Amino acid sequence: MNLILLGAPGAGKGTQAEVICQHLSIPAISTGNMIREALKSGTEMGLKAKSFMDAGKLVPDEVVIGIVKERLAQDDCKNGFVLDGFPRTIPQAEALDKMVKIDKVIDLEVSDEAIIARMSGRRVCEKCGATYHLLYKKPKAEGVCDICGGTLIQRKDDHPDTVKARLEVYHKETEPLIAHYKKQGVVKRVDGQEEVADTTRLTLAALEA
């Protein structure tokens, strides 16, 4: 199954992508993670993307479209994939329409207020990238990664001002994608406002429907 997880930054796309990828044995593809990896390895693309990311802006379409095209051509995507964080603009969705047929788009809905509250508590391990939350997913020892012992930090793009900028970008650039995919009759709306377990149950039900 070829899937897209749509939703504002912080709506829980990454968490649900992991669940789906295990449930259906298909890869989860996160453009955000791929760009952060490129930045860590110091590639030219990664360095170019940094200023956009830090400001809460979108990386130019041609850059992300190129990354996704290469990734979808790999063998492990033959039986399907779940895209997390792509497409984020109409030109990206149009480019994707030319590459593959999308079977379902899960639209994770969460209010802006809930997103701001969630993202301010988010922490990430600077070494291995594992994610935590000061309220919902606490590490065993404060500030230390359970998995690798690395230091937990707040991503620059999770700072409150950047979150507000990212939400504005989401409403302007990404929300119109819901209408784009509704025309294709593939959108399933999922309430992402409650506990993670509830969202997971609703997401899995939406895959069956």
Q: Which residues are catalytic?
A: 13, 88, 122, 155, 166
**If binding is defined by CB under 6 A, does position 167 make contact with ligand AMP?**
no
**If binding is defined by CB under 6 A, does position 166 make contact with ligand AMP?**
yes
The rounded Cα 23 to chain-centroid distance in angstroms is: 18
State the distance between the two ends of the chain, measured CA to CA, in whole angstroms: 13
Rank residues 51 and 74 by Cβ distance to ligand AMP and give the closer one.
Answer: 51
54-62, 93-101, 116-124, 135-143 -> range binding ligand AMP (CB under 6 A): 54-62
Q: Which of 27, 52, 97, 116 binds ligand AMP (CB under 6 A)?
A: 52
CB of residue 47 vs ligand AMP: minimum separation in angstroms? 13
Residue matched to tokens 């033959």:
78
Q: Which of 21, 64, 106, 124 binds ligand AMP (CB under 6 A)?
A: 64
CB of residue 123 vs ligand AMP: minimum separation in angstroms? 14
Q: Which of 2, 4, 5, 9 binds ligand AMP (CB under 6 A)?
A: 9
Rank residues 33 and 193 by Cβ distance to ligand AMP and give the closer one.
Answer: 33
**If binding is defined by CB under 6 A, does position 18 make contact with ligand AMP?**
no
**If binding is defined by CB under 6 A, does position 86 make contact with ligand AMP?**
yes
Q: What is the 3 state secondary structure string of the chain? A: CEEEEECCCCCCHHHHHHHHHHHHCCCEEEHHHHHHHHHHCCCHHHHHHHHHHHCCCCCCHHHHHHHHHHHHCCHHHCCCEEEECCCCCHHHHHHHHHHCCCCEEEEEECCHHHHHHHHHCEEEECCCCCEEECCCECCCCCCECCCCCCEEECCHHHCHHHHHHHHHHHHHHHCHHHHHHHCCCCEEEEECCCCHHHHHHHHHHHHHC
Q: Number of residues in contact with ligand AMP, rule: CB under 6 A?
A: 19
**Interacting residues toward ligand AMP by CB under 6 A:** 9, 30-32, 35, 52-53, 56-59, 64, 85-88, 92, 157, 166
